[in-house]
Chain A
Amino acid sequence: MKALAILFLCGVAALARAETSTNELGLTISPGIRYVTVSGDERKFREDWQIKDNWAGGVEDAAFQHSLGNGWQLNMDGRAIFDEEDYRIQLEIVKPEVGFVRGGFTEFRTYDDDTGGFYRGFTPSSFGLDRDLKLSHGDFFVELGLTLPDAPKIIVGYERQFRNGQKALLEWGSVTQGLTTRKVYPSYKDIDETVDIIRLQIEHTIKNVHLGDQFRYERYDTDTTRFDATPAKTVAIRENYRHDAFYNTFVMDSHCTEKMYWSLGYLFATVDGNGGLALATVPFNAPFDKNWFTRAVSSEVDSHVVNLNLSYGPFSNFFIYAGVQAEKTKSDGFTDAILTELAGGGVTNSPAALIHTRNDKDSLEETFGVRYTGLPYTTLYAEGRWAEQWIDLTERETEDAVLNLQRETDTQVFRQDYRAGFNCSPFKRITWSGRYRHAIYDNDYDHEADNTAGYPAFIDTQRFITDEFMTKLTYRACREFTVSLQYQLASTDTDTGTEAISGLGIPAGKIRSANYDSNIYSISATLTPISRMYITALVSYQDTRTKAFDNSADSVVTYKGNVVSVLGTVGYALDKKSDATVEYSYTHACNAQANAASGLPLGVDNQRHAILAGLSRKLTDNMIARLRYGFYYLDDNSDGGVNNYKAHLFSATCTLKF
C-alpha cells in the first residue's frame, strides 16, 4: 500500500512539474508529520481517539485538477499517512455529457483497547490481553460511465471491500477468586473479510418517465475466529462463511405534471450462502467442554419487494404523499454438525446434529403524509406509517436421529408510527420547530408446536410504545450572534406477555418488562465578537434510565445516569497572514453502578478532555504552514483507573499550492 501511495504522490508531482510551464496547474499538497506521546494506557488512547501514538507522517491531503484538453478533466485527490495506514486515493477522468472513469483506494484502521471488565473485589481487578488490537478497513473501486445526452446513462463498476485484523469482544470469560465468579476476562476476534462487488446501472428518460435498472453481484467471504478465554481455558470459535448474492432493482418515476410525482420499484434479491464452524476448547478436560465442528452450513434467501408511491400538490401550499410496499422473503437454513462434548466420568459424547430452519415472511407497509405551508412563515406536517408482517418460522434439530428441537412459530407484527411537527418563524429573528412521534409496535407469537418446554421461546406477545418529543428554538440576535436551544424527550414502554410453564407453576400473564426514559438538553451558540474572531460552543446534557423487569434480583440494577458533553472552538485571525484556533471537547459520563456484592457493575464513570490548539501562517501566496498541539486526558473511576491516560500531540503541516 505504501508503494501505491508513493506512486500516486510521485505521479501527482510529475504531472505538477509538467504543468508548471502552462500555468494551468491546480495542485494542492499538504505534507505533514505528527508525534504523539502517551503516559498511561496507550491502547485505550488509541481506541478513544483512533490515532496511534509515536511518529506518523506523510501527505495529509493532496488534490490535483488538470485539463486534458477537448473537454476532458482529470481530478485526483488523496491522503497517505504512513505508519497509521491511513490512505485515500481517488482519481477521476471526466467529460460532461460524454462519460467518466473513476477509481480509488481507501484504507484506514480502527483500534480497540484490550482490557476486559473490572471487578474491584478481585486482585488484579482487571485483565488485559497484552495485544495491540487493530482492524484495517478499506476498499478499492473502479467505475466507468457513459453519460451521453439523449442516450441511456450506463455505469459499470467493480469494488472490493476488505476488513483485516483484530477487534475486542464483549464475550468476557470467567474469573474465580475464592467463592466469587465474575465474567471479566477479555476476549478478541480475528477477522479476515472481503466483499467483491460487480454492478451495472442503466438509466434513461423517455417522455418524462425516468427508467432505471441496477444490478449487483456480491461475493462475501469471511473467516473469523473468536477467542473466548478464561485464565485457565480458551474456547476458539472459528467461523467461515461465503455467499453469492444477486440483487436487481428496477425503478420508474416521473414528475408527470407540475403537481404530481409517482414512482414504482421492484427489487429481487437472492443470497446463496455456505460456511462452517469449528469450536475447540483447550484444554479439553472438564465436563461440558466442547469440540464442535460442522460438516455443512448453508443458508438461502430469496426476496421480492415492490413499491408504489405518489406525491401530489393540488394547491400551492398543500402537499400529500402516499406509498405502499410489499415484501415476500423466504429463507432456509441447514447445518450438519458433530457436537463432541465431555460428559462426567471421562465419557465423551459426539452426537451428529442435523438442523433445518425455514422462515417465510410476508409484509405490507403503507405511508401517508401531508405538508401544509399556508400559514405565514410556517410549515406544518404530519405522517403515518403502518406495517403488517406475517412470519412463519420452522425450526427442527435432531441429534443422532433423535428429535431435539421442533418448533413452529407464527408471528404477526403490526406497527404504527405517527409523526407531526412544525417549523416556523414567529418573529423576525427567531425560528422555532417541534415534532412529536408516537409509535406502537405489536408482535404476536403463536408457538404452534414447541418441544423445548418454554425456553427459549416463552414470549407470547410484545408491545413497544414509544413517545418522542423534540423542540428547538433558534435566535439570531444579530449577524454576530446566534443561539439554539433544543430539548428532546424519549420514552419507551415494553409490555411482554409470557406463556405458562406448568412444570414450574409459572402462570401465563403480562408484565411491564421495561421502561426507558431519556431527556436531552442542548444549547449551541455561534459568536463573532469582532470580525477577526469567532467562537462556537455546544453543551449537551442527557439523562437516561432503563428499568427492566428482573423479579427484584439484586444483581440487576436500573441502568441510569447522565452524560455531559461540551464542545467549543475559537478561531482568531492574528494578522493578515496568521490564524489561531483552539478546539476543546469534554465528556463526563456518570452512570456508575453499585451492585458489586451480588453482580458485576458495568456502569461508566469517567471524564475525557481534549484540547487541540493550532497556528497557521501564510508564508507565501502558495504556502501555508500549520503547527498543532493537542492534549488528551481520561480519568475513569469505573475501571479503577487502569485505562487512564494523558497524551500530547504535536504536528506540523505545510500546504503548498502550485
Chain B
Amino acid sequence: MNPQPIKTRRATIAGLVVLVAAAVVIISCATIDRVVVAPPMIPGATYVGMDQCAVCHEKEVKDFKLTEHARIQIPGEGERVQGQGCESCHGPGSLHVEAGGGKGKFIISGKDSESCFQCHLDKKAEFNLEHHHPVKEGKISCTSCHDPHGKDINQAKGMWMARVNETCAQCHREQTRAHVFEHEALREGCTSCHNVHGSINRKLLTERDNNLCLKCHGQIGAGAPGQTFIGSFDHTAFLQQGTCFSAGCHTAVHGSDINSHLRY
C-alpha cells in the first residue's frame, strides 16, 4: 500500500478543521422544533388515496390495475393500508393536492431511484457494488430501463415491442446489432452473462472466470480427467492462461463479422 503523502494528510486535517469549526458555529443555537424526514419522503405530507390522484391523473389511475405494480397493492381501507397505489412510489400527496398539482411539486419524481429502493433493497445494494450502471451518480435512473407503469401484458408501445434485449439495445447498440456470426447466448438475453444492476466483476459479469462460458459450453467427459475439450478441440492449455473471452481468443463475444468462432 502506498504511504499517505504529506500533501494529502494536510488536506485531510484542513478539511476536518473546517468542518469542526463550521459545526461549532452552527450548533450555537440550542433548541429547535424542526422536523426532518428520511429521503425520499415529503416533509409534512399525508396520504390522500388514489381517488384524489384520479381527479387529475385519470388515465394513470385507470391503467394502474393493468400494471405489474398493481400486485403490491393490498386491498382494504384505513391506516393499515395507507400509502398504496400511486403514493407507494410517489409519496404522500396531500401537499401536492393542496398546491393544485404541478410537475415535481411536493411529489416524488419517477426519476428518483431512491423511491424504487424503498422496496427493491437488493437492487440498492447492487448499485453500491464496485461496477454498476451510473444510477447513484444520477446519470441514469431506474426509469431509463424500466417502465414503472408498464403493463403485465406485452404492451405494444415504443419502438420495440417486448423483445429480448430491447431495453439494453437502446444504449448498447454495438453489442446488440446484427452480426454476420451471432453468439446464440444473446438469444437468452444479456442477463445470461451480465448482472445488469451491479457486480463485483468488471463489465458487470455474473462470473469473471471460465465458469461463465463453461456453463453452456461444457463438454461431456472427454480425454483424461483434467483435460477440457470444447467440442472436438482440446482447450486445456488455453484455460490455464485465462478466460475464454479475456485471454485474447474469443474476443468477439457479442458476435463477429468475420470469424465463426467469434475470435475477432
Question: Which partner residue on chain B sits nearest A628 by CB separation?
Answer: B19
Task: From known contacts A297-B257, A554-B226, infer whether A379 and B202 are also in contact, taking CB-CB under 8 Å.
Answer: no
Query: Complex Cα distance A170/B8, Å?
Result: 32
Q: Could you tell me the distance in whole angstroms from the C-beta of A243 to the nearest C-beta in chain B?
A: 7
Q: Does A418 contact B (CB under 8 A)?
A: no
CB contact between B228 and one of A441, A531, A550 (< 8 Å): that residue: A550
Q: A379 touching B23 by the CB < 8 A rule?
A: no
Residues in B whose Cβ lies below 8 Å from that of A317: 75
A395 vs B179: C-alpha distance when bound (angstroms) = 12
Q: Smallest Cβ distance from A628 to chain B, in angstroms?
A: 9
A202 adjacent to chain B (CB < 8 Å)? no
Q: Which of B4, B76, B206, B233 contacts A425 (CB 8 A)?
A: B76
Determine whether the beta carbon of A575 is less than 8 Å from that of B32.
Answer: yes
Q: Which of A3-11, A147-155, A367-375 contacts B (4 or more CB under 8 A)?
A: A367-375
Chain B residues numbered 66-117 whose CB sits less than 8 Å from any CB in chain A = 66, 70-76, 79-81
A656 at the interface (CB under 8 A from B): no
Inter-chain CA distance A273–B243, complex, in Å, is 31
Known: A337-B258, A377-B81. A307 touches B217 (CB 8 A): no
User: Is A166 an interface position by the 8 A CB rule?
Assistant: no
Q: How large is the interface on B (under 10, 10 to 19, 20 to 34, 35 or more residues)?
A: 35 or more
Q: How far is the CA of A646 from the CA of B251 in the complex (A)?
A: 34
Cβ proximity bits A642-658 to B, threshold 8 Å, 1 near / 0 not: 00101010100000000
Query: With A551-B223, A575-B26, A575-B27 as given contacts, are A602 and B71 in contact (CB-CB < 8 Å)?
Result: no
Q: Per-position contact with A for B132-171: 1 when CB-CB < 8 Å, else 0? A: 0010010100000000000111111111111100000000
CA distance A520 to B124 in the complex (A): 12
- Given A237-B264, A565-B125, A335 contacting B19 (CB threshold 8 A): no
| Bound CA–CA A216/B72 (angstroms) | 35
Determine the residue in chain B with the shortest Cβ distance to A272. Answer: B178
Contact residues of B: prevailing secondary structure: loop
Find residues 158-190 in chain B having any chain A CB closer than 8 Å to their own CB. Answer: 158-163, 173-174, 177-182, 184, 187-188
Chain B residues whose CB sits within 8 angstroms of the CB of A333 once the complex forms: 178-181, 257
Contact A39 B152 (CB under 8 A): no
- Could you tell me if A563 and B200 are in contact, using CB atoms closer than 8 angstroms? yes
B194 contacts A by Cβ under 8 Å:
no
CA distance A167 to B229 in the complex (A): 33
Q: Can you report 29 A-B residue pairs in the complex whose CB atoms are below 8 A from each other?
A: A39-B5, A40-B2, A108-B139, A117-B242, A193-B174, A241-B174, A243-B177, A265-B154, A301-B178, A311-B151, A334-B180, A389-B187, A488-B122, A532-B35, A542-B122, A546-B206, A546-B212, A551-B222, A551-B225, A556-B210, A559-B209, A569-B39, A573-B34, A574-B29, A576-B29, A599-B240, A615-B26, A646-B8, A648-B15
A108-B139, A615-B23 are known; give 16 further A-B pairs, CB within 8 A. Answer: A247-B159, A249-B158, A305-B163, A311-B66, A327-B163, A335-B257, A395-B181, A456-B231, A522-B121, A535-B38, A540-B122, A550-B239, A551-B229, A558-B211, A567-B125, A629-B19
